[in-house]
Amino acid sequence: MKDHLNVAVLVFDGVELVDMNGPVDVFLHANRYKKDPAFTGLPYNVYTVADKGKDIISEDGSVTIKPSFTFSNCPDPDLVVIPGRISDDGTDASIPAEQSYLDFIARMGAKNKAIMSVCVGLYSLASTGLLNGKKATTHYLSIAYAEKTWKKVKFIKNVRYVEDGPFVTTGGITSGIDGALYLVKKYNSDTIAQNVANIMVYQMDAPIPPNTILPLKK
């Protein structure tokens, strides 16, 4: 019988740090309440996963990450978290993860695993085709590009996260925290999610910042 939920956080060169660390922090803080009567469901086993065991260099080369596991030896995930990726070619462009990661994501999708993308981590998830016909969101500055690139995805503007089936997609950067808190609500309880938000001094369900609101099509 399972005694935890495996949360696999993908890491790759150019990984955006808040995209990665925000959800990690939410799930780790949730574990602090695993003995609380309000904690329904299972605690979280959070780990990083890469295609190989080599060190990962984050966006702008600022942080070096040693992945916990590779695709070949990681625990079977219950939830996969996909951060955004920034190119290291000097263009500061958002790009999908490498093909080996897309293949892993596709395999997890075929097994109906829960998958959450953060910010432009949407690019990696959408590139697999798993979101075709699904509702999704991403960073407000990236939605126009995403709409042109993945025409079969139904993009939703001016939201922090969208759930459609096993997929949760989130908006810009810190919205990964919102998506993770939503999953804690779903897997544990509203009370535990609020406790985690309190510890993180984070406002759940905050309004969208006015300067990021996009016009809606008529």
Distance (Å, whole) CA 98 – CA 81:
15
When pLDDT is cut at 50, 70 and 90, the band that residue 69 belongs to is very high
pLDDT over 90, % of the chain = 94
Average pLDDT over residues 136-148: 97
Distance (Å, whole) CA 77 – CA 113:
7
Q: What is the pLDDT of residue 70?
A: 98
Amino acid (1-letter code) at residue 18: V
Average pLDDT over residues 126-153: 98
Q: What is the pLDDT of residue 1?
A: 78
Distance (Å, whole) CA 142 – CA 163:
18
Q: What is the pLDDT of residue 218?
A: 56
Distance (Å, whole) CA 177 – CA 170:
9
Average pLDDT over residues 126-147: 98
Q: What is the pLDDT of residue 198?
A: 98
Q: What is the pLDDT of residue 105?
A: 98
Whose structure tokens read 């939503």?
182
| CATH hierarchy code of domain 5-211 | 3.40.50.880
φ, ψ for residue 5, nearest 5 deg: -105, 130
Q: What is the pLDDT of residue 48?
A: 98
Average pLDDT over residues 204-210: 94
Average pLDDT over residues 72-80: 98
- Burial of 89 from C-beta contacts in 10 A (0-12 / 13-18 / 19+): exposed
**Among candidates 97, 112, 118, which has minimal Cα distance to 49?**
97
The domain ranges of the chain are 5-211
- pTM over cut 0.95: yes
